Each structure stands twice: as C-alpha cells, then as structure tokens.
Amino acid sequence: MNFTDSHCHLADPAFQNRLSEILAQAAQQGVTRFIVPATQRGDWADVVRLTQTERPSESRIHIALGIHPWFAEAAAPQDFAELERLLRQYPQAWVGETGLDFLVNRPSETQKQRQVEAFCRQLELAQRLARPVIVHNVKATAAVAEAVKQSGFTRGGIAHAFSGSMEEARILLRCGFKIGIGSLLLNPNAKKVRQAAAQLDWGDMVLETDSPFMLRDEVNTPANVRTSAEIVAELRGADTAEVAAHTERNLDILLNREAV
C-alpha cells in the first residue's frame, strides 16, 4: 500500500540536511512518491536539484516550478521567461505553485489584479506546454475559475490544501482540478474539509501535507499522508487501502499526461 504526498516543500530550509531522514520516515508509512512545488524564482534551482539528489531508491520526486501569488507582485517579465526556459528543459515538471490568495496580507484591488495577471500567464504557459498546474486558492474560487476560463486552460492539476465548501469543490472540479485533501484533516474542527473528504467522488481527490507547514506546534512531514488517508477512510467507511488505491490512480492519470 503506497501513497503520494502531492504537495510538499522538500526544498524548504526546515528539511535542510534532513532529506534522507524525512524520506526514510515517509517510506516507513508507505509514502514513496512526492510532488514538490516551487514558489518563486529564488527556489527554482533548489527544487530542480531535488531531481538530482541521492535518496532512498524507493522514493520518487516530481517537481513543479511556478510563482506563488504572494510573490506575484514582484515578478518581472524575465522571471516568466526563465520559468518557460526551465519548464522546457524539464519536460516532466508541472507548473506551480501558482494561483490566487485574496486573504493573506489583505491584498488591495491592484495587488489582486497583479495576482490574476501572473496566474493567467502561468496558466497560458501550462496550456502551451501541456502541463498540469498546482493551484493555491484562498478566498478566490470564483476568480480562479474565471482565470481558467479566460486563459483557455484545459490541462488539469490539483487545487491544493482545499478548505472550502462542497459548492466550491464542484467549481474547481469543473475547472479540471483534483481536490488536494491534506493536513487540515488533522484538526477535528475542520468541518468543511472533512465533509469534502467524505463526499467527494473517489476520482476527485488526492492526498497531500503541504509540509513543513500546516501544523501549529510541530514541523509537518510527508509521513503524515498516511494519517490523513486513515482519517479519509474513517470518514468514508472505507479501508485505508481503498483510499490509497483511488488517490494513487488519480495521480497516475495526471503524472502520465504527455508533456511537450
């Protein structure tokens, strides 16, 4: 029974000099595949380097390169040019972490528009290169859907760290995204995400941690995917193995899409 952490920041300083240990701990819980997104130009090289680093033989790391909405305002034209160059150099890389965040740092209308512009540019790039995307979405579901429509994006991907209502989940599913269910499940009071985990169709969800983030008093790690899977199984009245089988199949579909 194997699992994938579909969103973990293994290049983060919190894991510096501990990567082999972190991956070994994950493997003990059956977590052997990882999708690692970047957030800004400054960490693209570190994320790319993960594909070249020695690691336990059972671990498989896939990467995504993008500009997170928190860094959209500072992004320059040459950053998008470099992003395209790297994506062409690494044809299996996804685009991300990109998206919209209309809550954190209370962005002004002008700042929101800069986020939308950066997001649309990355969606258009992903469409042109036939890559899935990893979408950060906080209080911006309608705007995410509008950006997908306006950019003509059809390559799918993951709406990560989902915390919204089932209505919002359905909007994102219509955009072609799988719903990333993760460490919010570890909070018994996170009623919306638990409802989504219980009610989504099997073909609509993937598992993630967003490690090293999301846990208040400790460093989150990919090993916690196993715990999230067990919670999903309990919520759905299913076996953990069934959760693993469905979520792995969903990721296989995304990872096996042909890139150019």
Cα 31 from Cα 1, distance rounded (Å): 9
pLDDT at 56: 61
pLDDT at 52: 84
pLDDT at 70: 97
CA 158 distance to own-chain centroid: 6
Tokens of 96: 């991300």
Instruction: Please choose, from the candidates 89, 92, 153, 145, the residue with its C-alpha nearest in 3D space to the C-alpha of residue 121.
Output: 153
Cα 244 from Cα 251, distance rounded (Å): 11
CATH architecture of the domain 3-255 equals Alpha-Beta Barrel (3.20)
Cα 162 from Cα 138, distance rounded (Å): 9
pLDDT at 229: 98
Contact 247, 3 (CB under 8 A): yes
Cα 115 from Cα 111, distance rounded (Å): 6
Rounded to 10 deg, the angle between the 191-199 and 166-174 helix axes is 50
127 Cβ contact list (under 8 Å, min separation 6):
151, 152, 153, 154, 155
Q: Alpha helix (H) ranges present in the chain?
A: 19-28, 41-49, 77-89, 109-129, 141-151, 166-174, 191-199, 225-236, 240-255
Domain locations along the chain: 3-255
Cα 210 from Cα 221, distance rounded (Å): 8
> pLDDT tens digits for the chain (260 residues)?
999 999 999 999 999 889 999 999 999 999 999 999 999 999 999 999 998 876 666 679 999 999 999 999 999 999 999 999 999 999 999 999 999 999 998 999 999 999 999 999 999 999 999 999 999 999 999 999 999 999 999 999 999 999 999 999 999 999 999 999 999 999 999 999 999 999 999 999 999 999 999 998 899 999 999 999 999 999 999 999 999 999 999 999 999 864 44
pLDDT at 243: 98
Rounded to 10 deg, the angle between the 77-89 and 41-49 helix axes is 10
pLDDT at 213: 96
Cα 212 from Cα 258, distance rounded (Å): 30
Tokens of 12: 């983060």
pLDDT at 260: 43
